[in-house]
């Protein structure tokens, strides 16, 4: 028991620490007015939707009021002249109200879902366009999970707000106002009693949910870690079984589960009394008990008639059922505000600036002039890089891991802007060339292969959207992948997706090289493009690259040095700087870093 208490206190301390940091994070990400700005295109629809919901909820109270009034008539003067007419009048009012409620709420729901579909379509289009403008650096820093959250979780919260929560809040608020107004006319004192009970319920609920956003943020973060650990374990199951090494993966999973449990325990501990009080006060039995005790007390003192007590038993007892949707709708509004802040934060991200007066490159000579770049603004990933890549030549960038090779490849198409210095293509600074012109002048083949869930033909056609089928096949032949595609179940019509049609890693890489060939771009950047190829595939691709390089500026980032022996220029990088440059034989004669890397690889191949 003592150990349990120690762990409990420790968990509570961790929970409070996480609560404070989570609270700060949530406050930081909220953008005042974001929801109103995003909803502006459908504001009129939402106003009409809210009005219809209010009218529908008001009409929905008519049957309860009708029952109460009929009961009062039957108790006070059932034999009086005109009593039957009054009863039938209330029957008509109740039935009409019920029917009108169905019609109005149906119209409100249809209009709300229409507004929801319209605005979410617009937001999705805006997000997709924004993602096309954002620099690659944002994706590297945020990861695909950030994009997924905006496109799925946040948009789902917006859907719940527009299509459901808004109508629930307005409808419930209207029902409460209509119900209390009626009860005030029946008896003001009893209405105040009802008000006191429900106000206590709302206050206790407000206390219980005062930090809901922060706690939910912690819980969702923990759930994300649980999900990531589960996927990691599933993806690496073959390694786990082969080496019996599941301990570390399971430890990460258990740590995420403990974090989730700690966050849930902290929330439950904080709200255990206020939550219980709100649940007790929102119970119809509690309200019924209060109404009966107070009401019968007034009746016994002659201050209230049984006929006047009946509406509180029929209408008043049902009021908590209206407050619960109002509270749930208010939660939806809060979640919608956070989601809107997240979405607007993405939409407001500044893309790399476009030139006001774009320049056109004169040729395809690439020049690096004293280039510096830092990812974090402090440590330079590349430092004082100057080099010239001539058209019709192949330049290889080599060096140990972390030397800055891929960073340079990302700077050429302006995925990032240089921190200092300049990169020129055809004499024009890349910052003065429009993004469309710059990217259309380059074919990029990176180490990480990306294939779309589409046919082989369309995957190659990415290189040139208007290319004919014959041009696609010619590009595949040049990339030495045509014969592989012909063996696929539907040939060029095979849809790639899960498993990528049975293509090996090297074959998928050659497919992306076919894209580069099809594009015909005068500048080709290959980042470890042959890293996944077997010897036969490597030989075939080297022959394809030789054809691709004719008359073009080719920049190759290579790990296997024998693949770039014939390069016109080899630049050796180390710790972000150029330490050697020259042709293969020349670099070997220097007996420097390149010679040591070459000798190490030759020994490895011999072994």
Domain ranges for the chain, please list them: 31-186+323-350, 366-606
Mean pLDDT of the chain: 79
DSSP 8-class letter at 393: -
In this structure, CATH architecture of domain 366-606: 3-Layer(aba) Sandwich (3.40)
pLDDT for position 243 = 56
pLDDT tops 90 at residue 103: yes
pLDDT for position 149 = 73
pLDDT tops 70 at residue 499: no
pLDDT for position 569 = 92
pLDDT tops 80 at residue 150: no
- For the beta carbon of residue 367, count every other beta carbon within 10 angstroms: 17
Percentage of the chain beyond pLDDT 70 is 82
When pLDDT is averaged across residues 365-369 and rounded to a whole number, the result is 91
Q: Which residue has the higher pLDDT, 431 or 213?
A: 431
SS3 content of the chain, % helix, strand, coil (to 5): 70, 10, 20
Q: How far apart are CA 191 and CA 470, in angstroms?
A: 82
When pLDDT is averaged across residues 75-84 and rounded to a whole number, the result is 76
Q: Which residue has the higher pLDDT, 258 or 545?
A: 258
Structure tokens at 430: 């890349």
Q: How far apart are CA 104 and CA 170, in angstroms?
A: 13
When pLDDT is averaged across residues 323-342 and rounded to a whole number, the result is 78
Predicted confidence band at 7 (pLDDT cuts at 50, 70, 90)? very low
pLDDT for position 24 = 41
pLDDT for position 422 = 92
Q: Which residue has the higher pLDDT, 428 or 536?
A: 428
Angle at 385 between CA 381 and CA 387, to 5 degrees: 140
Read off φ and ψ for residue 549, nearest 5 degrees: -75, -10
Q: How far apart are CA 522 and CA 115, in angstroms?
A: 47
pLDDT tops 60 at residue 8: no
Instruction: With beta carbons less than 8 A apart as the criterion, state whether 24 and 211 touch.
Output: no
Q: Which residue has the higher pLDDT, 30 or 298?
A: 298
pLDDT tops 90 at residue 370: yes
pLDDT per residue as tens digits for the range 504-515: 777 887 888 888
CATH number corresponding to 31-186+323-350: 1.20.1560.10
Q: Is 532 helix (H, G, I), strand (E, B) or coil?
A: coil
Q: How far apart are CA 34 and CA 342, in angstroms?
A: 9
When pLDDT is averaged across residues 64-86 and rounded to a whole number, the result is 80
Long-range contacts of 546-550 (CB under 8 A, 24+ apart): 547/478, 547/517, 548/478, 548/513, 548/516, 548/517, 548/524, 549/392, 549/393, 549/394, 549/524, 550/392
Percentage of the chain beyond pLDDT 90 is 9
Q: Which residue has the higher pLDDT, 191 or 281?
A: 191
DSSP 8-class letter at 356: S
pLDDT for position 99 = 92
Read off φ and ψ for residue 409, nearest 5 degrees: -60, -35
Q: Which of 470-484, 529-543, 566-580 has the highest mean pLDDT?
A: 566-580
When pLDDT is averaged across residues 220-234 and rounded to a whole number, the result is 68
DSSP 8-class letter at 416: S
pLDDT for position 22 = 44
Instruction: With beta carbons less than 8 A apart as the criterion, state whether 266 and 19 touch.
Output: yes
pLDDT for position 141 = 64
pLDDT tops 50 at residue 18: no
> Would 31-186+323-350 and 366-606 be classified into the same CATH topology?
no
Predicted confidence band at 372 (pLDDT cuts at 50, 70, 90)? very high
pLDDT per residue as tens digits for the range 290-329: 888 888 888 888 888 888 888 888 887 777 777 777 777 7
Of 89-98, 387-396, 539-548, the one with minimum mean pLDDT is: 539-548
Q: Which residues of 388-412 are buried (b: 16+ CB within 10 A; e: fewer)?
A: ebebebbbbbbbeeebbbbbbbbbb
Q: Is 138 helix (H, G, I), strand (E, B) or coil?
A: helix
């Amino acid at each position: 028991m003592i150990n349990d208490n120690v762990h409990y206190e420790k968990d509570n301390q961790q929970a409070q620490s996480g609560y404070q940091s989570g609270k700060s994070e949530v406050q930081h990400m909220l953008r005042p007015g974001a929801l109103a700005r995003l909803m502006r295109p459908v504001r009129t629809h939402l106003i009409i939707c809210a009005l219809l919901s209010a009218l529908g909820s008001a009409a929905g109270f008519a049957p309860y009021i009708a029952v109460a009034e009929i009961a009062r008539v039957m108790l006070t003067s059932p034999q009086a002249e005109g009593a039957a007419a009054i009863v039938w009048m209330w029957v008509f009012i109740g039935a009409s109200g019920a029917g009108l409620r169905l019609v109005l709420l149906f119209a409100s729901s249809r209009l709300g879902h229409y507004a929801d579909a319209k605005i979410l379509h617009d937001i999705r289009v805006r997000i997709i366009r924004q993602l096309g403008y954002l620099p690659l650096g944002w994706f590297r820093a945020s990861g695909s999970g950030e994009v997924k959250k905006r496109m799925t979780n946040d948009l789902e919260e917006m859907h719940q707000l527009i299509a459901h929560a808004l109508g629930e809040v307005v409808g419930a608020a209207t029902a409460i106002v209509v119900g209390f107004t009626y009860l005030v006319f029946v008896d003001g004192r009893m209405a105040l009693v009802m008000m006191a009970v429900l106000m206590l319920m709302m206050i206790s609920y407000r206390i219980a949910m005062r930090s809901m956003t922060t706690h939910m943020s912690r819980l969702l973060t923990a759930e994300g870690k649980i999900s990531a650990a589960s996927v990691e374990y599933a993806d690496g199951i073959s390694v786990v079984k082969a080496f019996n090494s599941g301990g570390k993966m399971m430890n990460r999973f258990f740590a995420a589960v403990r974090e989730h449990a700690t966050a849930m325990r902290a929330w439950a501990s904080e709200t255990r009394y206020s939550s219980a009080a709100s649940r007790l006060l929102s119970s119809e039995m509690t309200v019924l008990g209060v109404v009966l005790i107070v009401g019968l007390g007034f009746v016994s003192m002659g201050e209230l008639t049984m006929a006047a007590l009946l509406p509180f038993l029929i209408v008043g007892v049902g009021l908590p059922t209206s407050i619960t949707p109002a509270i749930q709708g208010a939660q939806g509004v809060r979640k919608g505000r956070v989601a809107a802040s997240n979405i607007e934060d993405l939409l407001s991200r500044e893309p790399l600036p476009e030139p006001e007066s774009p320049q056109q490159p004169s040729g395809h000579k690439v020049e690096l002039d004293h280039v510096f770049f830092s990812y974090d603004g402090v440590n330079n990933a590349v430092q004082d890089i100057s080099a010239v890549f001539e058209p019709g030549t192949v330049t290889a960038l080599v060096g140990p891991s972390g030397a800055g090779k891929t960073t340079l490849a990302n700077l050429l198409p302006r995925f990032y802007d240089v921190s200092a210095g300049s990169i020129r293509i055809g004499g024009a600074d890349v910052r003065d060339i429009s993004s469309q012109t710059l990217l259309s002048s380059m074919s990029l083949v990176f180490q990480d292969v990306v294939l779309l869930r589409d046919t082989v033909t369309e995957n190659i056609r990415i290189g040139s959207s208007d290319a004919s089928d014959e041009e696609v096949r010619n590009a595949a032949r040049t990339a030495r992948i045509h014969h592989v595609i012909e063996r696929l179940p539907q040939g060029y019509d095979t849809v790639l997706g899960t498993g990528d049609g049975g293509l090996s890693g090297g074959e998928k890489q050659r497919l992306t090289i076919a894209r580069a060939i099809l594009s015909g771009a005068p500048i080709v950047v290959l980042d470890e493009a042959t890293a996944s190829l077997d010897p036969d595939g490597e030989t075939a691709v080297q022959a394809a690259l030789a054809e691709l390089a004719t008359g073009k500026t080719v920049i190759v980032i290579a790990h296997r040095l024998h693949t770039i022996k014939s390069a016109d220029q080899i630049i050796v990088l180390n710790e972000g700087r150029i330490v050697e440059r020259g042709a293969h034989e020349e670099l070997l004669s220097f007996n420097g870093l390149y010679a040591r890397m070459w000798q190490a690889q030759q020994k490895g191949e011999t072994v």
